[in-house]
Structure 1
Amino acid sequence: MKKLMLFILFSVLCLAGCASNADKEEPKEKKEQTLKVASLIPPMTDILEIAKPLMKEEGINLEIVVLNDNVQPNNALANKEVDANFFQHVPYMEQFNKNSNADLVAVQPIYHAVYGGYSPKYKSLDDLPDGATVAIANDPTNISRSLALMDKYGLIKLKDDATSTDATEADIVENKRNFKIKKVDLLMLARVYEDTDLTIMTPAYAEPLGLKPNKDALLTEGVESAFAITLVARKDNADSEAIKLLAEKMTGPEVKKFLEEDYKDSALPAF
């Protein structure tokens, strides 16, 4: 009996020791997650840079993938080479989905890039000569947007049912001044600017030329537009915690302050 009692006591002490050691074990380090986001140019890339250390605090490494044209970011996202992108408005995304049978989804609008028309030669729309060359981006959504802006200011007249998201050149019912519409790649707008009479573009391409919407544009679009620059993901990951967290950081006070202080005339917060 004495031996049995000693054995039981020894067993209890061993179990207590094991439990104590287990309590002392350090918790396993949480593996850092990497989130890849494709983008193009400032202020898009600037906003992601602001979000990067904020995401790091949450254990997520934000990798910013800077690409060279406005086609690659959507292809990369659709092919799962990146987890999200930040460079486009929703009508452009919807056009890509339609053309590529993709399932990209809008996550969060971030800012309105004030769309405007600039002239290297003339100070007002009235000064534009008949037959003036007007450069616009050549993708369908920006064609619609540009034509609607020209219609708003009376440079052309569109059919009554044409909108800023679906208008085409076939919808022009009046062009009394015979403006010549020159369609070029979005990233080429700034390069052709000096050779045009009017170029319609976002501030991302106008500002490197020293042009600001509030003082240089002859025509501008308001914040009521459907073209806010938006964080975009795929249907299969848009509801993930990492994407939701990125949307939260990109609409935080740090980003709002940046837009209001550094881009107050050209990038208006959409949150």
Structure 2
Amino acid sequence: MKKFLLFLVLSSILVVAAGCGKSDSSSEPEKAPVKEDEVVTLKVASLIPPMTEILDLVKPMLAEEGVDLDIVVLGDNVQPNTALAAEEVDANFFQHVPYMEQFNSNNDANLVPVTPIYFANYGVYSKDYDSMETLPEGASIAIANDISNIDRSLALLAQQELITLKEKEGPYYTKADIVENPKNYSFKEVDLLMLARMYDDADAVIMTPAYAAPLNLTPKSDALLTEGVENDFAITLIAREDNKDWEPIQKLAKAMTSDEVRKFLEENYDETAIPAF
């Protein structure tokens, strides 16, 4: 009888212990290991060629690295940064660093450059005049209306001594910094994506090759003035501070600075998109 009671006690203890062990296991499940062949989706916002074309070019390269590149083409030059800051996309590719810095300042954002890809050199284009000398007194010149590109446009004209700017006191030049304007140019500020349309309405337009290309204009053949590559305005892959070192973004940066991309730009865009790597 004593042996039988001892057996019941021991059995009860084992049942309780087993029940406790099972409860602990279910409350703290182990995480499944990440599979080596797992595909990661990387969402990148962009706007127009050659930006979108570069992303299309590297998409197969990233697929071989286990990264599914989801290219999100947006309709204006505000949405890509807004989407990135809101973590709706992982990176974007459409802008230069001064434009990014302006967005950060205005929106308390933490976007950061990953790597520069190409220089899209600014040029001055005119439908009716073949040189800056023939632009008339009081000629209207269309420029982008964001502060970083106003700075860039004015600096280009100042470099050619067509206007004089006072010493820069802040990060950007504005029209208020013009101290000499011998031909009384009138500057029309328009949205970046509207610049090409101003080609018919203004005496001249200052814009990058991406916006001149739909008009069949190139810096080499058609621009009255062009910008050099010694500047901070390379079109750059941008991410956030929290994800800039994420492996898929670093793989994208490597692919976008590959020999294949360099060859693509040299063969298809000549002087309009000069590799920055």
The correspondence for 1:187, drawn from 190, 193, 196, is 193
Aligned to 1:196: 202
Task: After superposition, give the CA deviation of every residue in 1:166-193 in whole Å (9 maximum; x if it has no partner).
Answer: 1111100011211100000000000111
What is the aligned-residue RMSD (CA, Å)? 1.3
Name the counterpart of 2:103: 96
Secondary structure in 2 matching 1:75: helix
Identity %: 64
Cα deviation for residue 161 of structure 1 reads: 3.3
- 1:177 is paired with a residue whose SS is coil
Range that drifts further, 148-157 or 116-125: 148-157
Q: Return 5+ residue gaps in structure 2 as ranges.
A: 1-33
Structure-1 residue corresponding to 2:37: 30
Native 8 Å contact 1:162 1:171 kept in 2 = no
CA distance 1:28–1:190, shift in 2 (3 Å)? closer
What's the counterpart of residue 93 of structure 2? 86
Q: Give yes or no for contact 1:136–1:143 (8 Å, CA) kept in 2.
A: yes
Q: 2:177 aligned with 1:171, yes or no?
A: yes
- Size of the alignment, in residue pairs? 244
Secondary structure, aligned partner of 2:195: helix
CA deviation map 1:4-35 (0-9, x unaligned): xxxxxxxxxxxxxxxxxxxxxxx956321000
Q: Does 1:122 pair with 2:90?
A: no
Q: CA deviation at 1:160?
A: 3.2
Is residue 2:153 matched to residue 1:143?
Answer: no
- Give 3-state SS (helix, strand or coil) of 2:49's partner: coil
**CA distance in structure 1 between the partners assigned to 2:135 and 2:166 by the alignment:** 23
- CA distance in 1 between counterparts of 2:166 and 2:114 reads 32
- Is contact 1:259-1:267 (8 Å) kept? yes
With normalisation by structure 2, the TM-score equals: 0.86
Q: Please say which of residues 149-158 and 62-71 is displaced more in the overlay.
A: 149-158
1:222 corresponds to which of 228, 232, 238? 228
Correspondence for 1:209: 215
- Superposition deviation, residue 150 in structure 1: 1.1
Distance in structure 1 (CA, Å) of the matches to 2:245 and 2:40: 16
Q: Which amino acid aligns with 2:56?
A: E
Superposition pairs for residues 222-241 of structure 1, below 5 Å? 222-241=228-247
Where does structure 1 lack aligned partners over 5 or more consecutive residues?
1-26
Separation in 2, partners of 1:125, 1:28: 61
Partner of 2:84: helix, strand, or coil?
helix
Normalised by the size of structure 1, how large is the TM-score?
0.88
In structure 1, the residue matched to 2:74 is 67
| Corresponding residue of 2:162 | 155
State the alpha-carbon separation in 2 of the partners of residues 162 and 209 from structure 1: 36
